[in-house]
A = this chain, B = another copy of it.
Amino acid sequence: MKSEKISELTTSRLSVYLRCLNLLAAAGIKTISSQALADQFNLNSAQIRKDLAYFGEFGVRGVGYFVDDLRQHITKILGLDRPHRVGIVGAGNLGTALANYNGFATSNFIVVALFDNDREKIGKSIGNAQVMVHDVRKLARVAHSEEIDVAVIAVTARVAQRVLNQVMSAGIKAVLNFAPVRLHARLGVKVKTVDLTVSLESLSYFLARPQITCVTNPRSILPYEEIAQREEHEL
């Protein structure tokens, strides 16, 4: 156990390990070695041991890791032991799709509100979970009353920075941004941008050079478990 800075690459992998462990637990498997876990993704076993060792000594030499024990540790490390309340700004196609996305619930994220500036949409409930659409001008108020701690930005690039400013004013510290712009956050606020255009354009580069060996940089991929998921993740 050390108290160094943890890289985001490590936390992303922890998230991946966790999903795998959940499946192993569901399958009734009690222990797993770093090697067996590494085989699930295409990772090096030392990588996994190092990632875990940042947070403690969870393993048992000669045995491996207790699945259930490790699962609880990672859940706690990632802060998934308490629920997060999500507000989605932008009730367009993407916002609506995300409000309906069941996969979040597994990670203890609950979408509690949508925000929009379209009069037609405000006041109505959307999706399976019947999430209410609020006036975006009431963001701060609703964020407080609904105890929202995570915001999703699903608006036009043009207005994304303005929305982020409102989100930050409302005291929200974690933001997932889908708008294709670089947003400026003030210190203490974490913004993660998911950019579809960049992903597609990288694919295009690959298509333009089929002769090039498919050298996916291990640092830029997010490996996943092979085992099929039980739960439905409707998109």
Contacts and interface: CB of A to CB of B under 8 A. Distances in A.
**Chain B CB within 10 A, most for which of A14, A175, A198, A229:** A198
A78 B201 contact: yes
Q: How large is the interface on A (under 10, 10 to 19, 20 to 34, 35 or more residues)?
A: 35 or more
18 contacts: A5-B213, A8-B220, A12-B202, A15-B201, A15-B202, A79-B204, A107-B197, A161-B226, A174-B203, A174-B204, A179-B233, A181-B229, A182-B223, A184-B226, A190-B207, A194-B199, A195-B222, A198-B222
A217 interface: yes
Contacts of A175: 203
Contacts of A90: 235
Interface of A: 5-9, 11-12, 14-16, 18-19, 40-41, 77-80, 84, 90, 92-98, 100-101, 103-104, 106-109, 149-150, 154-158, 161, 173-176, 178-184, 187-190, 192-210, 212-217, 219-226, 228-230, 232-235
Contacts of A93: 96-97, 100-101, 234-235
